[in-house]
Structure 1
Amino acid sequence: MCEKRTKLDISLDAKFEEFLDYDYSQIEIKSYDCSQLQYDYFFKEHMLRNLPCIIKNITQTWKCSKLWVENDTINYDYFIKQYGQMEAPVADCNQINFNAQCKCDMKVKNYMSYLRSKSSEKLLYLKDWHLRRLTLDNYFYEVPEVFASDWLNEYAIDTKDDDFMFVYIGPKNTWTPFHVDVYTSYSWSVNVTGRKKWILLPPGEEEKLKDTLGNLPLLFDPEKFHNINYFEIIQEKGDGLFVPSGWHHQVFNDLDTISINHNFVNACNIEIVWKALQKNLISVEHEIKEFREMPEFTSQCQLILKSVFGMDFESFVNFIIHIAQKRLDHMNGVTSLLFNVYCLEKNHICFDLKIILKIIQSIQNHHLFLKNIISPNIALELLNIEQTINESLN
């Protein structure tokens, strides 16, 4: 099975299946060479422990590292020729509205003309560009092996939904505000060219930054906030940075920079995502608690939840069902490849299913499931999946 593909597997031990509480004040940001970092080690020491790290020399075999860069600068002519007529989202770092950068769509050829001109009148950052999905040539980079277990993009590709694979291009001094990633997912970012400065805060530290209304600052300034545990990281050309779940961060481009970014979820952090969804739901229910007795209260909460968190209860259940069914199919010999390259082996599949089973049991104990908020067909499918997983693991 998958003899000509890259096999991914993990070794299991007693402590391996537990999500670990960690004293983040005692850690240092480790750095590895891409060629030396083993999947099993990264899985245990970074994804399970939810710890950041730097991975060097990722882009050496990437097609875009040769085509997008000329004389160590952005190859403007190539972008204009290859992608010039496409539109991409662009943020104005000097225009802030409701604590966020103002955004618009812009033709790539016009953005490249702006970059080439070195204009200081505006500070424009092309970000969240779904270039991989929008082009037939979607092999301009390869997903690193250590990031291959990616349920979010696996689901997005299977369902032809919006993916979480982005290109970022920005001149020196462009920046991304202080935030936590969508769904409290993991993310990885690799510099094709340029340099970034990151500031990362371990989970919980962001609570110290909130104002009296519970709002976070647009940017974290270490000189204004004291007794905050944070890490400053310089990411060079070819470096990848793994950002764990729930780590708030902000990013500055120290040079003109192109990066590839993915958000991703897998068995190591799905429990964090599930807890974050429940926490957001509680906040939503509290915000409109005066309407609790109205018949549409629950459905309105779900609409708001989807708006603020990115998914509601039923879409999360559908997501879990889809990944669970694919892992069960794999157990029965119907193999699927991740990013057309990677093949999960038996221990990995079993681990995924064990964690999914834990999530399913928690879903069934949730008040929304007990209130039949999701459709009967989906509820029945979830119960059948649970039974099949139990049978497969026994």
Structure 2
Amino acid sequence: MPSFRMMNFFSRVKTRRTKKTIRKNRNKKPHKPRNQTCISSITNNSPPLIEEDDNEEGFSIKSSAPSHTHGVQPLGNLYFNPGSINSRDTGLGNLLTLTDELVLDILAFLDGTSLGILASVSKSFYVFTNQEPLWRNLVLENLIDGFQYNGSWKTTFVSACYPLFDVSCSGGVRSFKVRDFYSDYLFQSWLCANLEMKPEWLERDNIVRKRGISVEEFVMSFEEVNKPVLLEGCIDNWDAVRKWDRDYLMKLCGDDVKFAVGPVEMKLREYFGYSDQVREERPLYLFDPKFAEKVPTLGSEYEVPVYFREDLFGVLGNERPDYRWIIIGPTGSGSSFHVDPNSTSAWNAVIKGSKKWILFPPDVIPPGVHPSPDGAEVASPVSIMEWFMNFYGATKNWKKKPIECICKAGEVIFVPNGWWHLVINLEESIAITQNYVSRPNASILVSGTTDRVNLHDKFKNAIEASFPGEIDELTRKDEEKKIQQRKLSIWDSIADSSVGAFKFSF
């Protein structure tokens, strides 16, 4: 493990800003911008977006964490080593004035051969050209038919392109540590990949839990008032709960079926080989919307819980957008803050493993998250762990605290329409999630879709044909609610089941 002054580094991390806007579909661009955490960011006149508790301590590195491959240290260490010169600066030439982020953005235009050549120019370029996100991009862009992960993204790329080349430690791909190389930006990726979850990040559990409630109670107490709930015992009869594990899934799916993993498709054997070895900030997530079509047995071994069986999107038949997914991921994988598409609600059933959830109501934007005015784009921290490290502490002083829980195997969480949510796997996990629209949450069903007008017309016509007069009835009820509704925020009105919001507006 490299030597670094942990508290000095963390005290400066808290002032970082998110400065680039990232599209919701971020799988197609795996290298996402990170804000540099250098001393200049502290002296900037702009105040930090979130003020955190300066006394927050207790960060720890996983016992299994490797030392940083190339010896990169946080910039603060430079100021405790008098006489040291940052080798980052001495080897960049005319690129010296660029931020580390911009240097990597430029290098991302190079192919593997060019990166290999540039690595021999200087120690500084050696470190930059060996950054894993560069090689991850090359693998995901060039090996779209699948790949066998080989310990790192660089060795994976080299072994795939040059099968006869020995990439073992005793072979051709070796790395050495560069002395006196200081960079918060590069160090942060290693740090986020190897941080332990702090116990206090897992302690808060304030979601309502229910077992054996009726559909009517669910609709009145949670669906109509747009309130999250964790449901226990409602998937105990699933074959998936009894059967699904690694061995069963690999045997069932064989080597002929490939699943969507970010921008590529992989066999389960390939994906589990990757997830067993990977230690990176943003592990790839298996997230496939066509799993039941690819392997019909998977679709037959679960059923929609009784609470979610009214799905108005079903009237669109084969024209409905993707709505269900199988999700598999290792520890630390997950989804950063987002709102589910097409104004749908969702349910997520954990079959194996456990997940930490954090949810904010529609009118409360999570700290560190910056949506565009139309909601089409979201700027947020690069990784989930980075958000926890820099922004989770800010919520403890908020009057409007998020809803949090750990959803374990056999449990189902209901995520209402419009709620921001983040989820991280606390262990290797297998889950099923499904988006749906029922009458209480059908208000702005197709907002945000690229085919908004056409989808609206199709949906409205299908609803009229299947449920004559339903639109007029929903509009009437909405007007009645508006008369009764007090001027409360959505957060304050969560507990008041008489207050709802419905507007049949597209």
TM-score (structure 2 length as normaliser)? 0.47
| Counterpart residue number, 2:23 | none
| Counterpart residue number, 1:281 | none
| Counterpart residue number, 1:150 | 311
1:113 paired with 2:285, answer: no
Matches within 5 A, 1:169-248: 169-206=328-365, 209=368, 211=370, 215-218=378-381, 219=384, 220=387, 221-224=391-394, 227=398, 229-248=401-420
* DSSP-derived class of the 1:124 partner: coil
| Counterpart residue number, 1:326 | 466
Tell me by how many angstroms 1:86 deviates: 1.6
**RMSD (Å) for aligned C-alpha atoms:** 2.9
What is the one-letter code of the residue matched to 1:67?
A: K
Identity of aligned residues (%): 23
Equivalent in 444, 467, 474 of residue 355 of structure 1: 474
* DSSP-derived class of the 1:177 partner: strand
Q: Is the CA contact (8 Å cut-off) linking 1:206 and 1:216 kept in structure 2?
A: no
Tell me by how many angstroms 1:232 deviates: 1.6
Report the more deviating stretch, 350-359 or 253-262: 350-359
Distance 1:323 1:163, change over 3 A: farther
Provide the C-alpha distance between the structure 1 equivalents of 2:322 and 2:372, rounded to a whole number of angstroms: 33
What is the one-letter code of the residue matched to 1:319?
A: F
Tell me by how many angstroms 1:185 deviates: 1.1
Q: Is the CA contact (8 Å cut-off) linking 2:229 and 2:414 kept in structure 1?
A: yes
Distance 1:268 1:83, change over 3 A: farther
Distance 1:212 1:239, change over 3 A: closer
Provide the C-alpha distance between the structure 2 equivalents of 1:84 and 1:246, rounded to a whole number of angstroms: 39
Matches within 5 A, 1:377-392: none
1:370-390: CA deviation from partner (whole Å, max 9, x where unpaired):
xxxxxxxxxxxxxxxxxxxxx
What is the one-letter code of the residue matched to 1:222?
A: Y
Provide the C-alpha distance between the structure 2 equivalents of 1:82 and 1:175, rounded to a whole number of angstroms: 23
What is the one-letter code of the residue matched to 2:231?
A: I
* DSSP-derived class of the 1:40 partner: helix
1:231-253: CA deviation from partner (whole Å, max 9, x where unpaired):
22110110100000111011000
Tell me by how many angstroms 1:353 deviates: 6.7
1:101-121: CA deviation from partner (whole Å, max 9, x where unpaired):
xx3222223113334x44436
* DSSP-derived class of the 1:168 partner: strand
Equivalent in 250, 262, 274 of residue 434 of structure 2: 262
Equivalent in 15, 29, 41 of residue 207 of structure 2: 29
Distance 1:32 1:113, change over 3 A: same
| Counterpart residue number, 2:250 | 79
What is the one-letter code of the residue matched to 2:473?
A: K
Provide the C-alpha distance between the structure 2 equivalents of 1:212 and 1:240, rounded to a whole number of angstroms: 28
Tell me by how many angstroms 1:65 deviates: 1.5
Tell me by how many angstroms 1:55 deviates: 0.3
Distance 1:133 1:78, change over 3 A: closer
Provide the C-alpha distance between the structure 1 equivalents of 2:270 and 2:450, rounded to a whole number of angstroms: 31
Tell me by how many angstroms 1:327 deviates: 2.7
1:252 paired with 2:424, answer: yes
Distance 1:84 1:62, change over 3 A: farther
Q: Is the CA contact (8 Å cut-off) linking 1:80 and 1:109 kept in structure 2?
A: no
Tell me by how many angstroms 1:356 deviates: 7.2
Tell me by how many angstroms 1:224 deviates: 4.8
* DSSP-derived class of the 2:300 partner: coil
Provide the C-alpha distance between the structure 2 equivalents of 1:51 and 1:168, rounded to a whole number of angstroms: 24
* DSSP-derived class of the 2:439 partner: coil
1:309 paired with 2:449, answer: yes
- Is there any run of 5+ residues in structure 1 with no aligned partner, and where? 1-26, 69-73, 92-102, 278-307, 329-349, 360-394
Provide the C-alpha distance between the structure 2 equivalents of 1:357 and 1:80, rounded to a whole number of angstroms: 53
TM-score (structure 1 length as normaliser)? 0.59
1:351-381: CA deviation from partner (whole Å, max 9, x where unpaired):
677227889xxxxxxxxxxxxxxxxxxxxxx
Distance 1:211 1:114, change over 3 A: closer
What is the one-letter code of the residue matched to 2:286?
A: L
What is the one-letter code of the residue matched to 1:269?
A: N
Provide the C-alpha distance between the structure 2 equivalents of 1:245 and 1:142, rounded to a whole number of angstroms: 21
Distance 1:233 1:120, change over 3 A: same
Provide the C-alpha distance between the structure 1 equivalents of 2:473 and 2:295, rounded to a whole number of angstroms: 37
- Is there any run of 5+ residues in structure 2 with no aligned partner, and where? 1-204, 479-506
Q: Is the CA contact (8 Å cut-off) linking 1:58 and 1:190 kept in structure 2?
A: no
Deviating beyond 4 angstroms after TM superposition, the runs of 4 or more aligned structure 1 residues are: 207-215, 350-353, 356-359
Provide the C-alpha distance between the structure 2 equivalents of 1:326 and 1:136, rounded to a whole number of angstroms: 28
* DSSP-derived class of the 1:76 partner: helix
Tell me by how many angstroms 1:170 deviates: 0.6
Distance 1:319 1:51, change over 3 A: same
1:315-369: CA deviation from partner (whole Å, max 9, x where unpaired):
11211211331234xxxxxxxxxxxxxxxxxxxxx8677227889xxxxxxxxxx
Provide the C-alpha distance between the structure 2 equivalents of 1:133 and 1:229, rounded to a whole number of angstroms: 40
Distance 1:321 1:358, change over 3 A: farther
Q: Is the CA contact (8 Å cut-off) linking 2:253 and 2:295 kept in structure 1?
A: no
What is the one-letter code of the residue matched to 2:423?
A: V
Q: Is the CA contact (8 Å cut-off) linking 2:206 and 2:404 kept in structure 1?
A: no
Tell me by how many angstroms 1:199 deviates: 0.6
Aligned length: 259
| Counterpart residue number, 1:64 | 240
1:159 paired with 2:318, answer: yes
Provide the C-alpha distance between the structure 1 equivalents of 2:300 and 2:472, rounded to a whole number of angstroms: 30
| Counterpart residue number, 1:43 | 219
Q: Which has the larger radius of gyration?
A: 2
* DSSP-derived class of the 1:173 partner: coil
Provide the C-alpha distance between the structure 2 equivalents of 1:123 and 1:356, rounded to a whole number of angstroms: 45
What is the one-letter code of the residue matched to 1:354?
A: E
Distance 1:160 1:313, change over 3 A: closer
Report the more deviating stretch, 220-229 or 250-259: 220-229
| Counterpart residue number, 1:288 | none
